[in-house]
């Protein structure tokens, strides 16, 4: 046997060994896509406008403070309804126009301002807007990741879609049995706040304002009671600024109050604890409310000083408390979240798909085996060996790249089996032609392979081009299909050209003068 033949054999054996090593046992090494193992695929959209609005609200408070510090008076500061990220400052002393302009230039660098007479408009700069939107998406991803961790799931891929300016998030959760609960937990904004209550409850907003001559004082705000709790249908007049909020939380757990109703027990950071202690000392016997996502869930009188821990009452369902504590521990979402797409597949359907997919693969293999042996005799066996090796390499590569095997992926494997044979067929047909022209077996094999190679290359590259574009455009299962197709076709070039040739060479080298080829 020739030296270089030996090396080739070693190479092929090494490839086999590597593939088996990577893919065995397949149950553990090859990861299944959601459609095969069951689970939930979610596409969420972060409503980043919310983040811009929040930022604008905070800047309005800062503007009020700065104006006060500089002893500048004005009629009102409001958020513009017409345009996102715009603040309108009205009715300051027109003679102080210059001071106002200086103040805006110095302290509000993220905003473009235009000052005319006694009015000014601030518009958030485009760069700042992009920044806040991006931050909102990043923070949302972080929060969602935390919540999923809290649910006891790990290594969940969370992707941002659409590059650095994209506002979409893809979450893939395997093996979920209660999709609705998970969806609710992920979606809860979970912005928790403690604020003072100035008035209420009242049936409508006008009643609340009677005490204040029908005008809403600047430092106050009207919020509704949570309809799911017994505060429904009522409105309260509360302070605009929160004393303590969800950001100050260090921990939140389910517990029970004195009457054995479910409650949330919380612990604050030391700094927030001191703040809360001072605040409750100053406001003893006044009503305080707990607000969750802009709805009041509980109102109680401050009976005692509270420092860094306490409980929130007002719940009836322990499951609601559980889900809320999960969301609170994981942190609040900076913006509202919408679901754009949702796919849930039950585990039994997945198992069924695997079984049917494997059946199809086996049947396809047998059919092709029968066909090839019938048509090409011994050379058919050669092709089948190459084919089996191809599937082996495919399995190894899938395991190595940690690609998920999906149902379309299985279809990709079956298709690869059908198409991989093509390379063999091209070669065999060429060899037959050469034999008919009267060439010797050795030279027919040799020129058959070399002439067919160019054809195989051209034909396969185009299929790979199609697969690459498919990969670009697709998500989840479709990508799985594109990947198996790309790997399978690449592997088929190796197996059909290199391995199959080697098998011919080895069998021909044994007998010096071979005049017949079983093809």
Contact positions with other proteins (CB under 8 A) in 166-185: 177-179
Size of the site for other proteins (CB under 8 A): 72
Output the smallest distance, CB 382 to other proteins, in A.
15
Q: Judged by CB under 8 A, which of 68, 341, 377, 378 binds other proteins?
A: 341
If one asks whether residue 378 binds other proteins (CB under 8 A), the answer comes out as no
Pair of tokens at residue 246: 């969800």
Output the smallest distance, CB 460 to other proteins, in A.
7
If one asks whether residue 463 binds other proteins (CB under 8 A), the answer comes out as yes
Output the smallest distance, CB 284 to other proteins, in A.
41
> Which residue number, 274 or 338, has a Cβ lying nearer to other proteins?
338
> Which residue number, 14 or 461, has a Cβ lying nearer to other proteins?
461
If one asks whether residue 311 binds other proteins (CB under 8 A), the answer comes out as no
- Do 134 and 43 meet the contact criterion of CB atoms below 8 Å apart? no
> Which residue number, 288 or 467, has a Cβ lying nearer to other proteins?
467
> Which residue number, 157 or 346, has a Cβ lying nearer to other proteins?
346
Output the smallest distance, CB 352 to other proteins, in A.
6
Output the smallest distance, CB 168 to other proteins, in A.
9
Residue 404 is classified by DSSP as P
Query: What one-character-per-residue DSSP string does 121-155 give?
Result: EEEE-HHHHHHHHHHHHHHHHHHHHHHHHHTT--S
If one asks whether residue 237 binds other proteins (CB under 8 A), the answer comes out as no
Output the smallest distance, CB 147 to other proteins, in A.
16
The alpha carbon of 441 is separated from its chain's Cα centroid by a whole number of angstroms, namely: 58
**Three-state SS for 279?**
helix
- Which span sits near other proteins by CB under 8 A: 98-106, 115-123, 209-217, 466-474? 466-474
> Which residue number, 289 or 486, has a Cβ lying nearer to other proteins?
486
- Which span sits near other proteins by CB under 8 A: 65-73, 219-227, 409-417, 439-447? 409-417
If one asks whether residue 148 binds other proteins (CB under 8 A), the answer comes out as no
If one asks whether residue 485 binds other proteins (CB under 8 A), the answer comes out as yes
**Three-state SS for 267?**
strand
Output the smallest distance, CB 82 to other proteins, in A.
21
Show the binding pattern over residues 17-36: x = contacts other proteins (CB under 8 A), - = does not.
------------------x-
If one asks whether residue 465 binds other proteins (CB under 8 A), the answer comes out as yes
Output the smallest distance, CB 179 to other proteins, in A.
8
The alpha carbon of 143 is separated from its chain's Cα centroid by a whole number of angstroms, namely: 12
Terminal C-alpha separation, the chain:
23
Beta-strand relationship, 295-301 and 220-224: unpaired
If one asks whether residue 455 binds other proteins (CB under 8 A), the answer comes out as yes
Residues 6+ apart with CB under 8 A from 488: 390, 394, 412, 413, 415, 416, 417, 419, 420
Q: Judged by CB under 8 A, which of 349, 377, 401, 518 binds other proteins?
A: 349
Show the binding pattern over residues 319-338: x = contacts other proteins (CB under 8 A), - = does not.
-------------------x
- Do 80 and 87 meet the contact criterion of CB atoms below 8 Å apart? yes
Pair of tokens at residue 48: 């980043």
Measured CA to CA in angstroms, residue 51 lies from 59, 131, 189, 276 at distances of 12, 10, 12, 26
> Which residue number, 17 or 466, has a Cβ lying nearer to other proteins?
466
Residue 40 is classified by DSSP as E
Residues 6+ apart with CB under 8 A from 285: 301, 302, 303
Residues 6+ apart with CB under 8 A from 507: none
If one asks whether residue 478 binds other proteins (CB under 8 A), the answer comes out as yes
Q: Judged by CB under 8 A, which of 5, 11, 311, 367 binds other proteins?
A: 367
CA distance 384 to 394: 15
**Three-state SS for 225?**
strand
- Nearest Cα to 219, choosing from 53, 90, 64? 64
Q: Give me the residues paired with residue 263 across strands.
A: 255
């Amino acid at each position: 046997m020739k030296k270089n033949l030996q090396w080739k054999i070693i190479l092929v054996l090494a490839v086999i060994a590597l593939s088996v090593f990577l893919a065995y046992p397949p149950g553990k090494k090859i990861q299944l896509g959601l459609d095969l193992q069951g689970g939930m695929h979610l596409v969420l959209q972060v409503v980043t406008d919310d983040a811009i609005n929040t930022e604008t609200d905070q800047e309005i408070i800062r503007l009020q403070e700065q104006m006060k510090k500089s002893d500048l008076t004005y009629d009102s500061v409001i958020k513009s309804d017409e345009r996102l990220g715009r603040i309108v400052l009205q009715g300051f002393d027109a003679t102080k126009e210059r001071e106002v302009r200086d103040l805006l230039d110095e302290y509000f660098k993220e905003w473009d301002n235009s000052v005319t007479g006694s009015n000014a408009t601030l518009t958030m700069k485009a760069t700042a807007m992009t920044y806040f939107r991006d931050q909102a998406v990043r923070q949302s991803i972080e929060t969602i990741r935390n919540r999923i961790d809290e649910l006891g799931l790990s290594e969940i891929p969370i992707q941002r879609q659409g590059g650095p300016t994209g506002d979409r998030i893809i979450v893939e959760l395997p093996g979920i049995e209660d999709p609705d609960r998970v969806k609710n937990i992920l979606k809860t904004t979970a912005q928790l706040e403690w604020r003072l209550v100035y008035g209420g409850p009242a049936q409508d907003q006008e009643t609340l304002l009677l005490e204040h001559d029908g005008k809403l004082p600047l430092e106050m705000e009207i919020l509704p009671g949570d309809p799911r709790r017994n505060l429904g249908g009522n409105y309260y007049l509360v302070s605009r600024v929160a004393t303590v909020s969800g950001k100050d939380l260090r921990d939140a757990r389910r517990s029970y109050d004195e009457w054995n109703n479910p409650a949330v027990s919380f612990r604050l950071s030391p700094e927030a604890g001191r703040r809360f202690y001072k605040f409750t000392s100053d406001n003893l016997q006044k009503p305080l409310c707990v607000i969750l996502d802009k709805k009041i869930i509980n109102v109680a009188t401050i009976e005692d000083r509270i420092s860094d821990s306490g409980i929130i009452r007002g719940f009836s369902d322990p499951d609601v408390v559980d889900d809320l504590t999960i969301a609170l521990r994981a942190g609040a979402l900076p913006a509202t979240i919408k679901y754009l797409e949702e796919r849930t597949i039950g585990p039994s359907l997945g198992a069924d798909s695997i079984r049917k997919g494997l059946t199809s693969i086996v049947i396809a293999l047998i059919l092709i085996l029968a066909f090839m042996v019938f048509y090409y005799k011994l050379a058919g066996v050669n092709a089948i060996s190459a084919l089996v090796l191809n599937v082996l390499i495919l399995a190894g590569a899938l395991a190595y790249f940690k690609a998920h095997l999906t149902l379309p992926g299985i279809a990709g494997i079956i298709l690869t089996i059908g198409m991989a044979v093509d390379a063999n067929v091209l070669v065999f047909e060429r060899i037959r032609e050469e034999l008919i022209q009267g060439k010797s077996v050795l030279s027919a094999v040799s020129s058959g392979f070399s002439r067919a190679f160019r054809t195989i290359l051209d034909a396969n590259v185009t299929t790979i081009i199609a697969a690459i574009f498919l990969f670009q455009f697709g998500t989840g299962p479709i990508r799985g299909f594109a990947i198996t197709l790309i790997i399978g076709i690449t592997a088929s070039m190796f197996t059909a050209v290199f391995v199959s040739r080697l098998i011919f060479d080895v069998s021909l080298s044994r007998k010096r003068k071979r005049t017949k080829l079983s093809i």
